Amino acid sequence: MDKEKIITLAIESSCDETSAAVLEGGRTILSNIIATQIPIHRKFGGVVPEIASRKHIINIMPVIDEALSKAGKTLDEVNQVAVTYGPGLVGALLVGVSAAKALAFSRNIPLIGVNHLEGHIFANFLSSPDLKPPFVALVVSGGHTSLVHVKDYNSFSLMGQTRDDAAGEAFDKVARVMGLPYPGGPQIDKLAQEGNPLAIDFPRALQEKGNYEFSFSGLKSAVLNYLNSMKLKKIEVNKADVAASFQHTVIEVLLAKAMDAIKETGCDTLVLAGGVAANSSLEKRLRETTAKNKVNFYYPDKILCTDNAAMIGCRGYYQSLAGKYSDLYLNAVPGLALQDLE
């Protein structure tokens, strides 16, 4: 079969978005339906796993049906099913994995288990048809922060990741103590635009050259301590300055390590991935710095930055070209990591 004509049905349910997509070949999105649960979880200030699982169960079949009908395809025309099997919330992942296994079994078509974090990186292939490995990927999502040397479509090397909180997690927690609604990342992004990024000097961890690990829990505590001490002293804080200074610190750490990783690998291309890639200042700062250093820079369209099934379909397609299929024993792996792949 012509590989450009392969129809992949992809499913994503790792956190609070139920999504299904249909791709033709590796890079053409025929549909990408995303049912978000954000308004439901906002009341609780964060994702409630039990509620997420129940909502996925309700949403999964209608979302798949809608993805097929929007793509103008029937199940008979689907050649393979790709699904996120980790990392994520176990109950949430299980809904997508079970649906994908049922479809693959009943239609007798291949099943492809996809690592969600690899999916985030591959969102860039959908947004940028000219992008090819090798490159360095900076993955910044709600649960993970990593630098990955992507040598080829199926060959990666993990350069470093966070020792504690992920960048997105820090955004969400800082926003929460500042009384901003969930998810906090976009709220901080907005508020920061009115603040002075140099107003408060927050600490940066693991600054030594050649260290590609991240740590954001000290920064998070420093922001909380700052807010508490101001409260005790009865000094009114400028929330926009706090948001801007916190965001600036995160961005400068990400930027410095990403540029070092570019030098160390000899790559001429930097790729941004994950929900925090939607941050306007991060994208702007990386774009300016890469341009100054004659490094190519790619980041996904906003809708492909946060969780969606199209990116899972793209990753699944490239796995299938390498014969990396799963069997029907595929299970959810909540703690699945980004690993070296040869």
Give the footprint of ligand KG4 on this chain (CB under 6 A): 15, 120, 141-143, 168, 171-172, 183-186, 189, 274-276, 278-279, 306-307
Q: 137: exposed, middle or buried (C-beta count within 10 Å: 0-12, 13-18, 19+)?
A: buried
Question: What does 184 bind: ligand KG4, Zn ion, none (CB cut-off 5 to 8 Å by kind)?
Answer: ligand KG4
Which of ligand KG4, Zn ion, none lies near 279, with the C-beta cut-off 5 to 8 A by kind?
ligand KG4
Distance between CA atoms of residues 6 and 78, nearest Å: 8
Of 19 and 320, which has the nearer Cβ to Zn ion?
19
Between residues 104 and 304, which has the closer beta carbon with respect to Zn ion?
Answer: 304
Among 80, 84, 115, 141, binds Zn ion (CB under 5 A): 141
Name which of 211, 312, 201, 281 is nearest 246 in CA terms.
201
Residue 307 sits in the site that holds Zn ion (CB under 5 A)? yes
Choose from ligand KG4, Zn ion, none: what does 326 bind? Cβ within 5-8 Å by kind. Answer: none
Cβ atoms of 304 and 127 within 8 Å: the answer is yes
Output b/e per residue, 271-300; b: 16+ Cβ within 10 A.
bbbbbbbbbebbbebbeebbeeeebbbbbb
In whole angstroms, the minimum distance from the beta carbon of 243 to Zn ion comes to 22
- The 10 Å Cβ neighbour count of residue 37 is 20
Hey, which residues between 49 and 78 contact Zn ion (CB under 5 A)? none
124 makes contact with Zn ion (CB under 5 A): no
Partner whose footprint covers residue 168, from Zn ion, ligand KG4, none (CB < 5 to 8 Å by kind) = ligand KG4
**Cβ distance to ligand KG4 smaller for residue 110 or 274:** 274
Picked from ligand KG4, Zn ion, none, the partner binding residue 143 (CB below 5 to 8 A depending on kind) is: ligand KG4
Whole-number minimum distance, CB 185 to ligand KG4, in Å?
2
Closest CA to 274 of 162, 155, 111, 157: 162
Q: Which is nearer to ligand KG4, 87 or 110 (CB)?
A: 87
Residue 265 or 308: the one with the smaller Cβ distance to Zn ion is 308
Beta carbon of residue 218, minimum distance to Zn ion (angstroms, whole number)? 24
Helical H segments across the chain, by residue range = 38-42, 49-71, 90-107, 116-127, 167-177, 184-192, 217-232, 239-265, 280-292, 302-305, 309-321
Distance from C-alpha of 298 to C-alpha of 283, rounded to nearest angstrom: 9
Q: How far apart are CA 110 and CA 7, in angstroms?
A: 11
At closest approach, how far in Å is the CB of 168 from ligand KG4?
3
The residues binding Zn ion (CB under 5 A) are 141, 307
